[in-house]
Structure 1
């Protein structure tokens, strides 16, 4: 079979040039290939290309005249309906549904066309899928349903619509026990969080399998106004701990959210030297371990104690040395010079030597 001819057939399909595509097929005798051929590593067929690029006339031609099965799938088990829904091509979605495409077909990782549509802020397309009996309660391999995905994307119209047509859809949890509220909080979808707090009966401090609450998700990602909303409207706890005993004040140090640190310590009066119950690490330990220099400075400005030790006897200086974070170690030494002279400093020097950042100590 002529490879150049096949490449041109794919190109004309992707470009949406129906007239040239028809002529090329007839001239080169490619009708059978147009119907059945899977191309490249993806295993796409022409109907996949047409649906993905939103070429309704070519889609109709391939189904009606070429005779391609609309349920044909590629190597990811995507059907044409998945392609059209994921790219937001509503006309193609409408046509495929009218022609009888299976509305809840599953691609790899068990994603449905409705889930794909929820990655787009297109209420009309989602409504059409639902009117063709799409099931919003189906879950993908991670345990997410379409509502989780809608909450991640953050379109309040879509979220309200799904709650209207499927009032219990909010109750679903992922395989790691994360709720749609966790998802919306993590991604900073404040308006959606407001809807969820208004319409859904979530436990204020519902924990996922790692012990993380929606408030933790919000604050460690720097979504402070959303965190305030969870405090004011949901009575979330600013000091709840995950399964390792790590609190929000520690988590924001890990992610380097300086403004969130100020919010927790100055506005909510969280103890800046609070220890994680398992490791006895403080926020300063965590910031040093991650090498967040600005966060170290913020913590010291908020009253963090340089000399606090974890259960293994390590200070923040040790953590910076272990992590080979030269600038963090330099900052800690400059702000607490006495540490370089005592037993703590000796231990840190030994760790630094092993970590190839000894030059930091030599210049202090």
Structure 2
């Protein structure tokens, strides 16, 4: 066959007909045609039964969720085949079993019936490797937790990402459940795949009573850090957990200005998330440095500009005396550059009201106008132009206007001439 041969529609049709005739004359085809009616007959007879069975199983899930034990028990007693079908059944995308549903919703009577009467395995996992004990602990159902533990459930079983039931319990305020797990042997020092132990998790959730208890039963549990070197103090400061931060500063021995892998300190976390009360507490009780820079050299002022924390900027500049024009990173960016780049109009106004240098250029001779135009932030461009910032060229000869792409940004430059002076020297 020549290399240039192309299969035409006509040739494909002929090839298909030849293949079909060969199949029709074969013994396999004869056999298939004989059993096909039997197969279809069986399928049509089984389909209604399968649909009815599926509907019954869904009804069981609904009864569990609603806690209607008598109806639930009655359904199972009437149909032994249903019992066998659901004993090891995993439902839906999550792969939950009836035990997971009962434990999650806190229905002890149903949970006990499934274990004692149906003899379901209390260690059955769903698709996230959660056991019923994880569900009961995470939802704070103490009676279900105690029942499962009494039945021999593994107290430190792991779900996906290596979370134990105790870790799940520490996301809630139910201290009794946490106590029950620890009294039954749960290890408070275990870490999940991110390097968090239960103390770290409780610090994020902001429950000082849980923190106090964990320190009492595991005094060293505070001395931990995640895989990216964040401590519970970082986490509590970031999430605005003032009462927890207070306990951590009083009872733990964290080093002032401890840094994570990005060079972020707890004070920076508090500032860039707008928790000024925690920032004050860290300054007063922990001697935090309000001028420390992260791994790239950005100070709390610059981080606050990135996240538009205007009150934090006022606090840093007006109360702590931080220079509003402080430079960050090797590019020598000001807070005004950061605010313009992120498109934070209110932060630009705040910085200008604090006498930020409107004409400041970074290490590449770019103004805040370049940053705003690069991000297509029309409101920010308008504010900067109205404040008197004129367009100019950076060290590559590029004007801010040349970076504008959106029509609403381009319109702001109508009638404005870009300075054609000499290009700034590269710094």
Give the direction of change, closer, same or farther, for the CA distance of 1:118–1:363 in structure 2 (3 Å limit): farther
Contact 2:327–2:333 (8 Å) recurs in 1: yes
User: In structure 2, what is the equivalent of residue 238 of structure 1?
Assistant: 290
Alignment partner of 2:249 out of 173, 176, 197: 197
Could you state the TM-score of these two structures normalised by the residue count of structure 1? 0.96
1:44 matched to 2:91:
no
More divergent stretch after superposition (300-309 vs 246-255) = 300-309
Deviations 1:103-161 (A, max 9, x none): 10000111110110001011111111111111111111111110111001111110000
Shift >6 Å, 4+ stretches: none
Q: How many residues align?
A: 362
1:81 matched to 2:133:
yes
- The 3-state SS of whatever aligns with 2:365 is coil
Structure 2 unaligned blocks of 5 or more = 1-49, 417-427
Could you state the TM-score of these two structures normalised by the residue count of structure 2? 0.82
Contact 1:330–1:360 (8 Å) recurs in 2: yes
Alignment partner of 1:226 out of 254, 257, 278: 278
User: In structure 2, what is the equivalent of residue 186 of structure 1?
Assistant: 238
CA drift at 1:279: 2.1
CA drift at 1:27: 2.3
CA drift at 1:12: 1.3
- Distance in 2, matches of 1:354 and 1:343, equals 20
CA RMSD of aligned residues (A): 1.5
Structure 1 unaligned blocks of 5 or more = none
- Name the structure, 1 or 2, with higher relative contact order (CA <8 Å, separation 6+): 1
User: In structure 2, what is the equivalent of residue 119 of structure 1?
Assistant: 171
Contact 1:324–1:355 (8 Å) recurs in 2: no
Deviations 1:290-334 (A, max 9, x none): 111010000011111111111121111100011111101111111
Give the direction of change, closer, same or farther, for the CA distance of 1:355–1:306 in structure 2 (3 Å limit): farther
User: In structure 1, what is the equivalent of residue 69 of structure 2?
Assistant: 18
User: In structure 2, what is the equivalent of residue 289 of structure 1?
Assistant: 341
Q: Describe how 1:1-364 pairs up with structure 2 within 5 A.
A: 1=50, 2-29=53-80, 30-337=82-389, 339-340=390-391, 342-343=392-393, 347-353=399-405, 357-362=409-414
- Distance in 2, matches of 1:360 and 1:93, equals 64
Contact 2:233–2:266 (8 Å) recurs in 1: yes
- Distance in 1, matches of 2:254 and 2:318, equals 28
- The 3-state SS of whatever aligns with 1:66 is coil
Contact 1:90–1:125 (8 Å) recurs in 2: yes
Contact 1:324–1:352 (8 Å) recurs in 2: yes
